Amino acid sequence: MLWASGAAARTAPPGEPTSVGGGFATDRILVKAEKGASRAVAEASRRVHASSRGEIPGSGVSLVGLPEGLPVEEAIERYEAAPGIEYAERDFVMTEAALFPRDPRFKTQYGLHNRGQTGGRSDADVDAPEAWSLTAGSRAVVIAVVDSGNYTRHADLRDNLWINPGEVAGNRVDDDKNGYVDDVNGWDFAHKDNTLYHGYEEDDHGTHVAGVAAARGNNGVGIAGVAWRSRIMPLKYIGPGGSGYTSDAVAAIDYAIKKGASIINISSGCGNCFNQSMLDAIKRADAAGRLVVTTAGNTGRNNNVTPRYPCNYASPNVICVAATDDRDVLAGFSNYGSSTVDLAAPGVEIPGTVPNGAYA
């Protein structure tokens, strides 16, 4: 489902830096002597009352412990002004390429990082930690979740909710004059109001999808969303009974376009229900540079034979996603199609956010 000095001065002991500031050690620096000036580092260290912590094997670079009270920048300047020194520089703090958030339920999210914890195959996942070493999303990226609403008070979602900059909350005025009163976080197109959660059992779905996409990560709470620094724009068009109308979905898509959503996620659909108005809305999204991500469907059918929409709409911005399990095998319930489905992603028993601050 889918819908970044003095003679008596002391030096710090060898080993790990005693303090870190601004991403580098504050008690030591790296120094390299010019070729043929083997005593240069020792002479410069004597003048600043620093101590040698040895040379990095094969590099010609010395690790120099600084006396208390000598700032790193001043130390670098003094070493580089000394005769025979090629350069002096900070000892930067480096982290692993893959980022593992500290959310307590992250270990259950096999779809993001599979270690075989659910009995499946290790690495049958989307390599989320590897992707997070490049980006975990951005506040500039807004994901419109066109679904059954959102429990906006959830601890893992509330800080990542999109806020309409043109609207004043609770004044009962359409401040941005877009036809929707008090649409501060989104809109309910099914009920024609700004109530994004009504308490129906079916409302769980939109909240779950939002969490999978962008639950706040590395916050020590619950789970981590795939794009956990991005924002969520909840657009509700599904009402009681778990169904909604194309007209409301189209209105939601157009709202997402006008309000600047980067991605429009639609984890719903129907079979043999081609609708030109929906296709036109998706094409408007394409013209505006918006992606539409949708589900292949959960009826186990071949979408090449039995069309399912929005998956089968012929628009280049549509990404249709099938579901795989923790062994990287197509889920038994998932639809498929060699010419209609674009990719597959973990979609079986995926942990997510649900109403009332819970997880499922």
Residue-wise pLDDT for 283-310, tens only, equals: 999 999 999 999 999 999 999 999 999 9
pLDDT at residue 13 is higher than 80: no
Say what percent of the chain tops pLDDT 70: 88
> Which ranges in the chain are annotated with CATH 3.30.70.80?
20-92
pLDDT at residue 248 is higher than 90: no
From 41-55, 77-91, 114-128, 157-171, the region with the lowest mean pLDDT:
114-128
CATH number for domain 20-92, candidates 3.40.50.1000, 3.40.50.300, 3.30.70.80, 1.20.140.10: 3.30.70.80
Ramachandran bin of 290, using left for φ above 0, alpha for ψ from -120 to 50, beta for the remaining angles: beta
- Among 46-55, 121-130, 344-353, top mean pLDDT goes to 46-55
Return the pLDDT at 25.
84
H/E stretch holding 260 = none
Measure the CA–CA gap between 128 and 125, rounded to whole angstroms. Answer: 8
- Would you place residue 220 in the very low, low, confident or very high pLDDT band (cuts 50, 70, 90)? confident
Classified by CATH at the fold level, domain 106-359 comes out as Rossmann fold (3.40.50)
Q: Is the pTM of this model over 0.85?
A: no
Return the pLDDT at 259.
97
H/E stretch holding 77 = helix 72-81
Q: In DSSP terms, which residues pair with 55 in a beta bridge?
A: 62
Helix 72-81 with 40-48: angle, nearest 10 deg: 130
Query: Mean pLDDT over all residues of the chain?
Result: 86
Return the pLDDT at 330.
95
Mean pLDDT of the 50-76 span:
91
Return the pLDDT at 97.
31
pLDDT at residue 95 is higher than 60: no
3-state class (DSSP) for residue 69:
coil
> Which ranges in the chain are annotated with CATH 3.40.50.200?
106-359
